[in-house]
Amino acid sequence: MSIRQQLEQQPAVLHFATHGLASRDFPEACALVLANDPEHASGEFLLFRQIQQLDCRNIQLVVLSACSSSIGKTSRSAGLQGLVWAFLQAGAQQVIASRYPVNDHATAELMQVLYQQLLLHDVMTALQQTRIICLNNGLSIREVAAWGCWV
């Protein structure tokens, strides 16, 4: 099922557990690396421009469980430009993403705690509680601090 078909079902949360490609200088080069689609050569990437054209108006939260998924060009006039910005521009209300490369095991643990907390709290409080729980469970400050929420 394509991303567009999934969005037609109007999910409240859209989660990507994948690899991210980020560029501080060229936001158009930012992309999520998806599963290879042998029928379409470009099917393995969800590009910055493609994300901008998605209809994410009904998405309350996009989780980019990918390395450096919040990296992008920063300017005074446009703010942060990259994957986060593309999803916000497409209509998503909030995006959780990482500021730098993250460990797969630590990320899996953090995401499990995050979703437990999302059942109890709003997104910002859930992320805050997730950080506290993960630090108490032995994750490093670097592994926990990588994650932020953009509105």
Segment (H or E) for 116: helix 104-118
Length of the chain as a residue count: 151
User: What's the alpha-carbon Rg for the chain, to the nearest Å?
Assistant: 15
- Residues 75-127 have pLDDT tens digits of 444 445 678 889 999 999 999 998 888 899 999 999 999 999 999 999 999 99
Mean pLDDT highest for which of 19-23, 47-51, 61-65? 61-65
Q: Which residue has the tokens 């969800």?
A: 46
- Domain total of the chain: 1
Angle (CA) 108 112 116, round 5°: 165
Q: Is the pLDDT of residue 17 over 70?
A: yes
Q: Domain range for residue 53?
A: 3-150
CATH number, domain containing residue 97: 3.40.50.1460
Cβ atoms of 84 and 64 closer than 8 Å: yes
- Bridge partner list, 17: 65
